[in-house]
Amino acid sequence: MLSTPRLIERPAQHYVAIPARVTMQSMVGLLPRLWPEVAAWLGARGIAPSGAPLIRWVVIDMAREMRIEVGLPVAKAVAGDGRVVAGTLPAGRYAVAVHHGHYNELVPSHAALQAWAAIEGLEWAVEASAAGDVWRARIESYTTDPQATPDPADWRTEIAYLVAAGPARPRARSVKRPAAKKPKRGAKRAKRAAKKPKRKAKSAAKPRRAAKSKRRTQKR
């Protein structure tokens, strides 16, 4: 299940990670090995992570393979080495939502976020290439530790996409029929005024009837 997406302005975020080429099947067993390795690399240098473990989706081709970076955010820029690379998530406007549930159900949540963006007229910061779609910033942050919270129904994963700079496309809106115009107040007053003389004419007829009745009594 996915929470209601929001648009959030975010500053640049430094991180360190281990790059990998994976498929949807091979990445399942890889992630639990890479995050501890990155954490140990930071610990050896006396650096503490500044947030939850993350995956940065760099290039995506679902039919073949994907290039990802598995790492941890840090408060300051850090120099990488041959195994661990240092990177920065760009500042900008992000579409953010939280996935509730097992990690295996993340694909439908991504689809839901993309469908929401299409309705809102948003464009992602992504470009097509021969290797697949190249994303400037598409991130999953794993905010729940499965060891501390063993029930998958309680797991939370934040999904964030960088929105392309520039004006958004207009939202698709249903065409509404114009409402029927109400009669103006002046017209109503004119109708009321037209009715008043008739009422006076009726009231004027009453004395005539009274006079006729008097004459009849006198004759009698």
Cα-flanking dihedrals φ and ψ of residue 23, to 5°? Answer: -115, 175
The band of 159, judged by pLDDT with boundaries at 50, 70 and 90, is: very high
What does the pLDDT look like over 56-98, one tens digit per residue?
A: 999 999 888 999 999 999 999 999 998 999 999 999 999 999 9
Tokens 């905010």 -> residue: 143
pLDDT at residue 160 greater than cutoff 50: yes
- What CA–CA distance (Å, rounded) separates 177 from 50? 53
Token pair in block for residue 16: 């360190």
Cα 34–Cα 26–Cα 67 angle in degrees, nearest 5: 70
| Per-residue pLDDT at 177 | 45
Q: Tell me, what's the pLDDT at 137?
A: 98
pLDDT tens digits along 123-155: 999 999 999 999 999 999 999 998 899 999 999
Burial of 152: CB neighbours in 10 Å, binned 0-12, 13-18, 19+: middle
Mean pLDDT rounded to a whole number for the chain: 84
Quote the pTM value: 0.74
User: End-to-end CA distance of the chain, in Å?
Assistant: 98
187 — pLDDT class (breaks 50, 70, 90): low
CATH topology of domain 6-162: Multidrug-efflux Transporter 1 Regulator Bmrr; Chain A (3.20.80)
